[in-house]
Amino acid sequence: MGKLALIGAGGVGGNVAHLAAMQDIADEIALIDIAPGMAAATALDLNHTSGITGAKVRCVGGESLDLVAGAEVVVVTAGRARRPGMSRADLIDVNARVIRQAAEAIRSAAPDAIVIVVTNPLDEMTVEMLRASGFPRERVLGMAGTLDSSRFRNALAMAAGVTPADVEAFTLGSHGDEMAPIPSRARIKGRALDTFLSPDQIAACVQDAVTGGGQVVALKKSGSATIAPAHASIELIDHIRGARTGPVPVSVMLQGEYSIDGVVLGVPAHLGAGGLVEVEELRLTGQEQTALQKAADAIRSRLGL
């Protein structure tokens, strides 16, 4: 990849830049943040590691959105983070303004870029990015499904006493209270969950996936998760650049898939150099399909659709 741009150089953005630099994902990484000196400092700090790591990437940083120019992928993490007692939905109005500003800059300076939205509330902000940028759904993706599915896999692995690599599991729906982990499609060492776990254990794992982000917020007391979201963002970038293949959970605008239209939800999908290639439709139970529809209805309601 030629250039990766990060709008927001705080906890998530800084970690994405670090991971991308260590893996030589791009020739250039541009960090942008409104906090004076933050992006430039992070870029300089990362450049200083090259003598140790041998990384070839060049990092630049500043406060101007003009730095997105020519980026092939733009990861948007800028915006206010959750505090204890806040839901992701509480951030809609304030962070929508940030997304609109980012969209304008991307549309002007990087019109062919693929955009990965990380800013919360993620599904709603992905809709806002689609509206404001005018980009097709293939080039505006939300990170949430990747992170939520990782949390679900981790919970299942912990409960079963195996490693997350032994677990296959997807989480669909919204990045919030209407999240819909899909136990019926999950597998541990290739076998159904009830081979290893009781119904109560499975239910507890579902709950852990839904509340995992809130648990981090409550413990930190200021700010939200940064490390896992950064790794989830890198996973999407890896699928875009062809370093990984197969379906990956990602938030996309649905156009009839899962009998839902006109709303962004987390679903398994195939990605490629142009962004979204195809949504993979899983066979769901009636309860799981209802949960997915509930998530769609909730997002529509919050956005006034």
Give the tens place of pLDDT for each residue, 81-117: 766 666 656 778 889 999 999 999 999 999 999 999 9
Give the tens place of pLDDT for each residue, 271-301: 999 999 999 999 999 998 998 999 999 888 8
Which value, in Å, is the radius of gyration of the alpha carbons in the chain?
Answer: 19
Q: What is the mean pLDDT of residues 62-73?
A: 98
Per-residue model confidence (pLDDT) at position 230: 96
The residue whose two tokens read 């005018």 is: 134
Domain 145-303 annotated CATH 3.10.640.10: no
Q: Which residues are catalytic?
A: 175
Q: What is the mean pLDDT of residues 112-137?
A: 96
Give the tens place of pLDDT for each residue, 135-194: 999 999 999 888 889 999 999 999 999 999 999 998 998 887 788 898 999 999 999 999
The segment(s) of the chain belonging to CATH 3.40.50.720 are 3-143
The segment(s) of the chain belonging to CATH 3.90.110.10 are 145-303
Q: What is the mean pLDDT of residues 74-79?
A: 95
Task: Work out the mean pLDDT of the chain and round it to a whole number.
Answer: 93
Per-residue model confidence (pLDDT) at position 180: 87
Q: Residues for the chain: how many in total?
A: 305
Domain 3-143 annotated CATH 3.40.50.720: yes
Per-residue model confidence (pLDDT) at position 275: 98
Between CA 108 and CA 115, with CA 109 as vertex, the angle to 5 degrees is 90
Per-residue model confidence (pLDDT) at position 90: 76
Pair type for strands 171-173 and 58-62: unpaired
